[in-house]
Structure 1
């Protein structure tokens, strides 16, 4: 009998969601430019784009973070870690 519980989300899963949200918001962007060391501003995202990307990623992952939880996030690795850590909370 298959396990009915959902599989845990990995950091790679979170990065895939973030990457897909970036590509939806910035369709002109070459996917090869999206790496964990990149930041949204350098990828061409303005402040509204960044809000859209983060909000859509949270919605897709089924989590909601306060803006304060993104303090100090400098790149996509930091964003992924913030989303991943929040998603693992009980």
Structure 2
């Protein structure tokens, strides 16, 4: 799987949790909090993405990610 495919999965999960972002053009530097995601939304996005990728990563390993690009990179590194 390529990193761009992981990014596409992250975007799809964001849109599932935050349907108001259906038409948003996502960039690697987008921060979930700036997109309107609260802490519950962010946890749900991460969980859905990891489930889709069949990953089981301790959440503490993802606590330092600052934007969806870093989330993509962190998840891609675990594949």
Same fold (TM over 0.5): yes
TM-score (norm 1): 0.82
**Alignment partner, residue 78 of structure 2:** 86
Runs (4+) of structure 1 exceeding 2 A deviation are none
Alignment-derived partner of residue 28 in structure 1: 20
* Structure 2: stretches of 5+ with no match in the other structure: none
2:77 and 2:38 map into 1 onto residues whose CA distance is 25
Q: Which stretch shifts more, 64-73 or 43-52?
A: 64-73
Matching of residues 44-55 of structure 1 within 5 Å: 44-55=36-47
TM-score w.r.t. length of structure 2: 0.93
Following TM superposition, by how much is the alpha carbon of 1:35 offset from its aligned partner in structure 2, in angstroms?
Answer: 1.1
CA RMSD of aligned residues (A): 0.9
Matched, 1:12 2:8: no
Q: Tell me which residue corresponds to 1:3.
A: none
User: What is the aligned residue count?
Assistant: 78
Q: Compare relative contact order (CA 8 Å, sep 6+) and give the higher one, 1 or 2.
A: 2
